[in-house]
Structure 1
Amino acid sequence: MRASLLQIAVDEGESVESRRVRVAALVREQAGTADLVVLPELWTTGAFAYESFATEAEPLEGPTYEAMAAAARDARVWLHAGSIPERDPDGPLYNTSLVFSPDGEPAAAYRKIHRFGFDQGEAVLMSAGTDLVTVPLPGTVLGLATCYDLRFPELFRGLVDAGAETLVLCAGWPERRRAHWTLLAQARAVENQAFVLACATAGTHAGVAQAGHSIVVDPWGEVLAQAGPGEQVLTVEFDPARVPAVREEFPALKDRVLGLTAPRR
């Protein structure tokens, strides 16, 4: 399987609509190159541009949905279209990832469960999702996660229990914590014996420099490819059959002990 991670630069000087058109063109350019294309988190607004969330929020089937569905169809790729600020018809905002099939049909939507901000920013402006989401592709099953989710291994265990073999994460990760980005991506791959495809933004969101350095890690924790700090298309070929092979060769997942509780004091 071939995957292209589109590490999009998000800067204040470009309008949301202009970036939407530009990104759709980049997706179309992956035709014949990739089977799966992955975009970053909140690339329309910027993950730290909190003041834009309400004004730029759109319904699930809004302009970004329409543009990305058409791009996936034209390129004949599976497209993880990153995430958008979604406005639910009942009012709440969500940080929602979208996945489309090569026919341009919706395959999944994932509302981010762990919101970042420590009672500020996204943590108070967005509602939390509640459901784990997997997407069956020919040859593998994707498990979806978004940015801050990367710090919570129990989410990824749940995805593995639901059949995930390739963990796909979109992010707007800050440069000042870039070392954690690489470390955690490798940890999630090793502990779950799964591929990790983690696509981040470049540029600066509301004064917050972005890490970039999108990364692809194999089930043994080896880094197959990693981008630099700027806008870049990172394309890598990987073999989904490696996952069951590693899990059979080193069956650590079979030794999990579930239901552990702290001792009473």
Structure 2
Amino acid sequence: MSDAEPAAERRARAAALVRAQQGADLVVLPELWPLGGFAYDAWSDGAEPLDGPTADVMSAAAKAAGVWLHAGSIVERDPDGPVYNTSLVFSPSGELVHTYRKIHRFGFDSGEAIAMGAGQEIVTAATDFGTLGLATCYDLRFPELFRALLDAGAQLLVIPAAWPERRREHWTLLARARAVEEQAYVLACNTAGTHGGVEQAGHSLVVDPWGKVLAEAGMGEQVLTVEFDPAEVARAREEFPVLRDRLLGIPAPVQR
């Protein structure tokens, strides 16, 4: 993806990639791909409603391919509030069935942290092949979110991102850590190219519940096709039942 590519052309190209995945069960796109994850100056003018141009083309593409589609995220314009970093999930019929507003906003005192509102809801999506737990990019650094998704029934954690190259090792390390912690599949889809002049890490990856990387892309734009058995989640949790030993409360310190 290049900063010079207009949003309309990106949508058309992404839709063609989705349509080409006919026969797949699930297709995942990265974070904020229509405008760019670091393209702060473009967000206000390029924000769109949930029934805007990106949703239109992604709905049609999901229906044409007959797939579940996590269409990455858009800059959502809420007429009654701020803009949000919002993920869109479509059913194989093309219906927009779930949205997730990113909870943890990156940038500290700049960028997304001040330009966007924070989501408030934990979101899962029931599919024919298991329950998806939805998170986005910087969320990956907050394990408490993933424990909440686990408790909500998530078996496959889907994480679109616009993660920069300079922190690529964190991206792959944390994706594997979340898979091991929750004994779940992690489908982590990252951007390639440049966003707002920031080089992206690429390296999308699929990790199984044991932390094994089943497939990993390079730095360039790439389509990963991965076959895996969703039943492995239940097998892993039964064979190594670490989750039953969770202690939900930490005792208060003893005063001496």
Offset from partner CA, 1:137-170 (integer Å, 9 cap, x none): 1131000000000000000000000000000000
Offset from partner CA, 1:217-245 (integer Å, 9 cap, x none): 00000000000000100110010000000
- 2:39 corresponds to 1:31: no
Say if 2:102 and 2:135, in contact at 8 Å, map to a contact too: yes
Say if 2:59 and 2:90, in contact at 8 Å, map to a contact too: yes
Q: 2:241 aligns with which of 243, 251, 256?
A: 251
- 2:176 corresponds to 1:178: no
Corresponding residue for 1:3?
Answer: none
**Structure 2: unaligned runs, 5 residues or longer:** none
Structure with higher strand content: 1
Deviation at 1:106, TM superposition (A): 1.2
Distance 1:183 1:261 in 2: 30
Q: 1:232 aligns with which of 194, 197, 222?
A: 222
Distance 2:123 2:201 in 1: 26
> Equivalent pairs: percent with the same residue?
69
Corresponding residue for 2:206?
Answer: 216
Corresponding residue for 1:5?
Answer: none
Offset from partner CA, 1:162-199 (integer Å, 9 cap, x none): 00000000000000000000100000000100000000
What TM-score does the superposition give when structure 2 sets the normalisation length? Answer: 0.98
- SS of equivalent to 1:228: coil
The root-mean-square deviation of aligned C-alpha atoms, in Å, is 1.0
Corresponding residue for 1:12?
Answer: 3
- 2:30 corresponds to 1:40: yes
Say if 2:3 and 2:197, in contact at 8 Å, map to a contact too: no
Following TM superposition, the consecutive aligned residue runs of length 4 or more in structure 1 with deviations greater than 6 angstroms are none
Q: State the one-letter code of the partner of 1:22.
A: R
Distance 1:150 1:83 in 2: 15
**Structure 1: unaligned runs, 5 residues or longer:** 1-8
Q: 1:161 aligns with which of 141, 151, 168?
A: 151
Distance 2:128 2:93 in 1: 14
Q: State the one-letter code of the partner of 2:167.
A: R
What TM-score does the superposition give when structure 1 sets the normalisation length? Answer: 0.95
How many residues get paired? Answer: 255
Offset from partner CA, 1:73-117 (integer Å, 9 cap, x none): 000000000000000011310000000000001120000000000
Deviation at 1:264, TM superposition (A): 6.6
Corresponding residue for 1:82?
Answer: 72
Q: State the one-letter code of the partner of 2:196.
A: A
- SS of equivalent to 2:71: strand
Distance 2:118 2:252 in 1: 27
Deviation at 1:119, TM superposition (A): 1.3
Give the number of the structure with larger relative contact order, counting CA–CA contacts within 8 Å between residues 6 or more apart. 1
Distance 1:133 1:251 in 2: 25
Counterparts of 1:56-135 in structure 2, within 5 Å, are 56-135=46-125
Offset from partner CA, 1:58-80 (integer Å, 9 cap, x none): 01111101110000000000000
